[in-house]
Amino acid sequence: MSKNTLTITDNRTGKTYEIPIENDSIRAIDLRQIKVNPDDFGMLSYDPAYLNTASCKSRITYIDGAKGILRYRGYPIEQLAEQSTYKEVAYLLLYGELPNAEQLEFWQNRIMRHTYIHEDLRHMIQNFRYDAHPMGILIGAVAAMSTFHPEAKNFDDPEIRQKQIWRILGKLPTIAAFAYRTRIGRPYNYPDSSLGYAANFLYMLDYMNQRDYEVNPVLAKALDVLFILHADHEQNCSTSAMRSVGSSRVDPYSAIAAAASALYGPLHGGANEAVLRMLTEIGNVKNIPGYIERVKKGEFRLMGFGHRVYKNYDPRAKIIKKIAHDVFEVTGSNPLIDIAVELEKIALEDEYFIKRKLYPNVDFYSGIIYQAMGFPVDMFPVLFAIGRASGWLAQWIEMIDDPEQRIARPRQLYLGEPMRDYVPVDQR
């Protein structure tokens, strides 16, 4: 009769250990009993970059990397992108169920009532240099929000926790829009809560007192779907940062600033900015083969390709590719799309990429759409952060409410110097 256990034999001692298996995994702490000498610390598992380590139990997002499957609370990303809205998906991620009409109405109203930021925060944003990267402004502004809402530390109080969630989801687009307007040296447009989530964001970015100004509904819809696609992605680098920093029980604004900092990196949320620079550098489809050769020599990576989990096509990239055509109907095509499509075609037929299971990820096409919509390249990670904020918050809540979770504090394998005595400088 098979047992749900793992039997480990330590060949150094001949001892065997029976370790329980739960959810097709073992608890790393169960390895600590494996010792050679009784006063040994006990065995650790070594897993740099956590390639094969589950840091938590979660019920929010499911990814099957081999099959290219992504589901939020069990709902396929394709159905949510097609039929839902970002605010509704944010509710789903945070509370586990799709809201009914009354819940959705209340939820939307609450978020849109928290779109204004404190005037002192506006002044702070205004005082960044004109060439400050908007992601740096966003990170600074979100961290500063912890000083405007000190009560956020008491997030065990359900009402206080709920209010910070509304504030973050409501104010992030405003901070992002103000960062953009600082960049282009234009006065700020205050939020218009009568508009939808993405529409209000586009309004704050673009309105220049035109008499007949209206947000283009196709672009607002496309951006709303992009926010849905970026909303959560289980334990990615920035979400892990949210959980790890949040595990010290710091307020959610400080934790989100840490998550946004992780997202800023070119290997993570900064990749769509890097994709645009790459496509612009390639410049013409005839330059693609030479560029690919340089990637294969290891000179640099093909940005927007590859993924720690997906060893198949990122389902989000497929959806984004479709959105591109809707956007180009309005904005006119972005010539970089031709280079991207050809680059994808050539790469997917090349053994180097096939062997390493490297496919386009969420960042490969998103930047082309953002650029066609008129966003400057350095706004791309900011757009990613707006969408991902609901996922960061959902994961943060799941972590603080998880009785098994404590302050994150990994161990190490010390391979440094053994004990040695100090040597005075005149004897070195």
Paired tokens of 199: 């529409």
The whole-angstrom separation of Cα 131 and Cα 376 is 12
Told to check if 307 binds ligand SDX by CB under 6 A, we report yes
* Minimum CB distance to ligand SDX, residue 50 (Å): 10
Radius of gyration (C-alpha) of the chain in whole angstroms: 24
Which of 268, 326, 350, 402 is the catalytic position? 268
Window 62-121: residues binding ligand SDX (CB under 6 A): none
| Residue window 215-254: x/- pattern of binding to ligand SDX, with contact defined by CB under 6 A | ------------------x--xx-----------------
Whether the CB-CB separation of 246 and 255 falls below 8 Å is answered with yes
CB closer to ligand SDX out of 125 and 292: 292
The whole-angstrom separation of Cα 86 and Cα 75 is 14
Told to check if 395 binds ligand SDX by CB under 6 A, we report no
Which of 230, 232, 307, 378 is the catalytic position? 307
Which of 206, 251, 314, 363 is the catalytic position? 363
Told to check if 367 binds ligand SDX by CB under 6 A, we report no
Binding-site member from 29, 267, 330, 354 for ligand SDX (CB under 6 A): 267
Told to check if 317 binds ligand SDX by CB under 6 A, we report no
Told to check if 308 binds ligand SDX by CB under 6 A, we report yes
Whether the CB-CB separation of 408 and 243 falls below 8 Å is answered with yes
Told to check if 303 binds ligand SDX by CB under 6 A, we report yes
Told to check if 390 binds ligand SDX by CB under 6 A, we report no
CB closer to ligand SDX out of 224 and 363: 363
Buried b (16+ CB within 10 A) or exposed e, 258-280: bbbbbbbebebbbbbbbbbebbe
- Choices 20-28, 152-160, 185-193, 307-315 (CB under 6 A): range interacting with ligand SDX: 307-315
CA distances to 106, 163, 203, 303, 388 from 113, in Å:
11, 11, 16, 38, 20
Which residue, 90, 23, 36, 374, is CA-closest to 222? 374
| Active site (annotated) includes residue 149 | no
* Minimum CB distance to ligand SDX, residue 238 (Å): 6
Told to check if 301 binds ligand SDX by CB under 6 A, we report yes
- Choices 7-15, 37-45, 121-129, 264-272 (CB under 6 A): range interacting with ligand SDX: 264-272
| Active site (annotated) includes residue 123 | no
- Residue, CB closest to ligand SDX: 306
The whole-angstrom separation of Cα 139 and Cα 191 is 20
The whole-angstrom separation of Cα 362 and Cα 229 is 8
Binding-site member from 68, 191, 304, 387 for ligand SDX (CB under 6 A): 304
| Active site (annotated) includes residue 307 | yes
Residue 75 phi/psi, 5° resolution? -90, 125
Range 206-215, long-range pairs (CB < 8 A, 24+ positions): 206/374
Q: Give me the amino acid identity at 35.
A: K
The whole-angstrom separation of Cα 154 and Cα 167 is 15
Question: Which residues are marked as active site?
Answer: 268, 307, 363
Give the footprint of ligand SDX on this chain (CB under 6 A): 233, 236-237, 267-268, 271, 295, 301-309, 356, 358, 361-363
